[in-house]
Amino acid sequence: MHIYEERYLNLKRLRPFLMLPMIGLLLLGLSCEFDMSSFKTDASILKKIIEKGELTVITRNNAHCYYSYRDQEMGFEHDLAKAFAAYLGVELNIRIAEKWEGMIPSLIDGTGDLIAASMTITPKRNRDVLFSNGYMDIQQHLIVHRGNHSIRTIEDLPGHTIHIRRGTSYQERLETLAARIPSLTIVLHEDVPTEELIRQVAEKEIDITVADSNIALLNRRYYPQAVMAGPVADKENLGWAVNPNAHKLLEKINQFFKQIQENGGYEELRNQYYAEVERFDYLDLKIYHRRLATRLPKYQPILMAASREFNFDWRLIAAQMYQESHFRRYARSHAGAYGLMQLTKRTAESFGVTDITDPEQNIYAGVKHLRNLFGYVDIENESDRLSIALAAYNVGQGHLRDAQKLAINLRMDPQKWSSLEKTLPLLRYRQYYNNATYGYCRGTEPVTYVKQIKIYYDILKRQAIA
């Protein structure tokens, strides 16, 4: 199993509910109207779920809701649904809807028990289904090309064409706006993912689309040329939908949401997917995308071979290499580290490197060094384990041990990277480093180092699943 391909959410505050796989992004809702008499009048939906031992969740196969990467199930909605299934004491069964408009009919005919597809709660949909309490705030925004300075707010829309997917809350909002915006042309696309329309904006194939804020923020690292302009609507909520007669099931969902929001489990789960979306440097990501096309191919065969030998995903190592050297063979740091993987002379010698700038020797030694560090970290959760190993690659094992001891003193979990993200930066201050075995540490650097690698790695993985 490749390290970091299998990412687990090991949340003590969610236990005994889950130990869940992670990565990812969210999608939006649909709007349909149905004859309410067609709904089954079954007051024992929850009871049947418990008796069957299985919760069937209707969702969509995309990067926001549910997808599989190297045989590992991922997606924010998937992980949240799995936690809810564990809360009920049943297994999770994912039912993929081929089209958005097929989800509510599937819910009505009993094919699924609930819809968890990042669906926006709207008055129109509330006439068709019951919604849970909202679990995430979002806001619709115009999406335009970075070079498009003529569109900033909805007041700039007259005379323009805007592309959206049919059946979404975007359509509802724009059709309302069209009544007061002259010459606004709305082009409706059949079941085209919002990410695809964002890509088309970035490539100047279309001028304008609309996306929820969370989707726009997540996708800008993949399409940095596409930017958020002004809001189209007020803030809204995402929710889970159930059959109008499933009051007991809805009650359980809301109890579950309340519990994980109060104990911090929801926040930690959300951070696994969205904590880094605010971190965005347009110029850095623009350069990164360019380097992936121009510099990475030269070293990719070596990367893949070394990663395979030491049991890592080569994309992870590529992300680390970019963070270290920007794929520059002769890179040299102020601290005396050299080459693609920024090896110190001492480290290079310990791995038998004779030419520190030779790509093959440098890469193999760097990957082996990371593998050794990973082996030294005795932690069950592989995501935390890898983050700590990467931080040790950057700042050394000694400072990581100091950060772990400090975490214990501050009553944090020393085996969780989320704890060390807080304690490492404290080692800059005398009151903390005076009591540390390895002394002063520029602790913000390894934290930033790990964050950046995760961003770069996510972009490379996205290219594989897009």
First to last CA, the chain: 22
- For residue 72, the SS3 value is strand
Angstrom CA distances, 413 to 46, 102, 409, 418, 466, stand at: 36, 44, 10, 9, 36
Q: Report residue 291: phi and psi, to 5°.
A: -65, -30
* Distance, CA of 397 to CA of 383 (rounded, Å): 17
Contact 382, 316 (CB under 8 A): no
CA trace torsion 316, 227, 219, 393 (10° rounding): 20
Residue with tokens 């992300």: 319
Is 276 noted as a catalytic residue in this protein? no
If one counts every other C-beta atom within 10 angstroms of the C-beta of residue 464, the result is 10
DSSP string, 114-144: EEEEEEEP-HHHHTTSEEPPP-EEE-EEEEE
Contact 378, 400 (CB under 8 A): no
Q: Taken in order 370, 372, 373, 377, is the CA torsion positive or negative?
A: positive
* Distance, CA of 457 to CA of 369 (rounded, Å): 19
* Distance, CA of 101 to CA of 168 (rounded, Å): 10
- Which one of the listed residues 268, 324, 382, 421 is annotated catalytic? 324
- Annotated catalytic residues are 324
